[in-house]
Structure 1
Amino acid sequence: MVLALSLALALSAAPSTRPSGKALNTQGFRLYQSGRYPEALEKFQAAARATPDYALAHYNAAATLGLLRKQGKVCEYSAHRDVIVEKLATAVRLDPRRLQRAKEDKDLDVIRDTLGWQKLLGLTPEQEASVPTLLRNVSWYGPGVGVYGTTRALKFKDGGRVELWKKDIDDSGTPKESRIQGTYTVKGRAVTVTLPKAAPVTGSLDAAGALTFPEPLGGFTDSPSECEA
């Protein structure tokens, strides 16, 4: 009797078995289906931690972050473009079939214009021949200025057209946006931008994916400045 009681107490004190990555992912999917996206994200992330080589968990975390980003909840859930791309790239590395699904997934529309997505499609700044396509397919953002975030961006278009978006801050701290239309040419890695009433400015897209011009244009990357204090 004493032995049986001791055994029962030992079993009750033993730690319960932790849910598997698959079980956590299933829980997350049910939460996602019911529209409880933050809770779903927690389950998907927990599934990826529990089973690091479980591609579906990484994929679902990326897609849910993309949806939260669409809802404007970037800062609340760290739904930054580079974070989403990193999780998706992990999923594709573990299971290349995930890429085909990603191409059709509307939750991931928010990263189509990133270098990371273009790399998954086989385009890389390391290949000079890819430079013209990358310029057009990627949205390019300048650095942030405190609470104002990114204050300039470049959008390269077909036909050698380019648009410079600017956010100027006046003395009162009020931002004023403007869009300037210009032209551009590409030769190798060299990119020359010509804007109205200004001399042409030549920069380059380096192998690491940084687009850099002399001032006043400066440098650009594929990630806007967000959530800065």
Structure 2
Amino acid sequence: MILALSLALALSAAPAAAPAPSGRALNTQGFRLYQSGHFPEALEKFQQAAQATPDYALAHYNAAATLGVLRKQGKVCEYSAHRDVIVEKLTTAVRLDARRLQRAREDRDLDVIRDTLGWQKLLGRTPEKEADVPALLKAVSWYGPGVGVYGTTRALKFQDKGRVELWRKNVDDSGTPRESRTPGTYTVRGRTVEVKLPGSAPITGTLSAAGALTFPEPLGAFSDNPSECEA
């Protein structure tokens, strides 16, 4: 009885565990780290804040913006600062608080995703609308699939006045990459996109409602995400 009573008194005298930081407190810590240029540490705090308070729009937004900074710094692989990840976090923030979109329009940290389908969708343009196809072709950067450690080896950039540029990265037997850019022209009818490059017959493809731009070979398929961090 005496032992039990002593144990009960000891437990009652023990200090209570500190409560876990709130999402707002973690976000504030992250903002201070961001302001001082400690972006990886800031990202960790923003992500913890979003996890602690999933409906806290500002935490999701700040995580997206900080990933944008890390992407600009070339730290894509270290912190998974991929374009689709940034878009996902920003989209969540806007869904939770529509005012975040106006801030995003002016935020230079998010310049790295302006040429994605996700950003265009936030602006109200979507490949589901056939009328939006011409604008989306020009607004989005289109990348071919990755090839092993070499990543993306081709991309299309649609421009004004029916001009298009095909970017290629060719890798020789020694593993040395060489880039080339070929100008061409294109036309759009509905979802159909016809590309004409010098010395070859026109190639006709489509932009699907899901946002996939597909041509027969040798062009192939394109999306708005480059291949990155492949082993």
Q: Kindly report the root-mean-square deviation, in angstroms, between the aligned alpha carbons of the 2 structures.
A: 1.1
Following superposition, the deviation at residue 15 of structure 1 comes to 3.0
For 1:36, the equivalent position in structure 2 comes to 38
How many angstroms apart in 2 are the aligned matches of 1:162 and 1:5?
77
The CA deviation string for residues 129-185 of structure 1, in whole angstroms up to 9 with x for no partner, is: 000000000000000001100000000000000000001111111111000000000
In structure 1, C-alpha distance between the alignment counterparts of 2:70 and 2:64, rounded to whole Å: 10
Q: C-alpha separation between the residues in 2 aligned to 1:69 and 1:194?
A: 33
User: How far does the alpha carbon of each residue in 1:182-201 deviate from its partner, in whole angstroms, 9 at most, with x for none?
Assistant: 00000000000000000000
Question: Does residue 9 of structure 2 align to residue 7 of structure 1?
Answer: no
Q: Name the CA distance, whole Å, in 2 between partners of 1:174 and 1:198.
A: 26
Q: Which residue of 1 aligns with 2:204?
A: 202
The 2-side partners of 1:143 and 1:157 are apart by 21
Q: Which position in structure 2 is the counterpart of 1:24?
A: 26
Q: What is the CA-CA distance between 1:5 and the residue it aligns to?
A: 4.3
**TM score, norm. by length of structure 1:** 0.97
TM-score of the aligned structures, taking structure 2 as reference length? 0.96
Name segments (4+ residues, structure 1) moved above 3 Å.
1-6
**Structure 2 residues not aligned, in runs of 5+:** none
Matches within 5 A, 1:83-122: 83-122=85-124
**% same residue:** 78
Between the aligned partners of 2:81 and 2:173, the Cα distance in structure 1 is 32
The Cα offsets for residues 42-80 of structure 1, whole Å up to 9 and x where unpaired, read as 000000000000000000000000000000000000000
Letter in 1 for 2:130: E
Aligned residue-pair number? 226
Q: Secondary structure at the match of 1:143?
A: coil
Task: Tell whether 2:40 aligns with 1:61.
Answer: no
What aligned pairs does 1:147-226 form with structure 2 within 5 A after superposition? 147-226=149-228
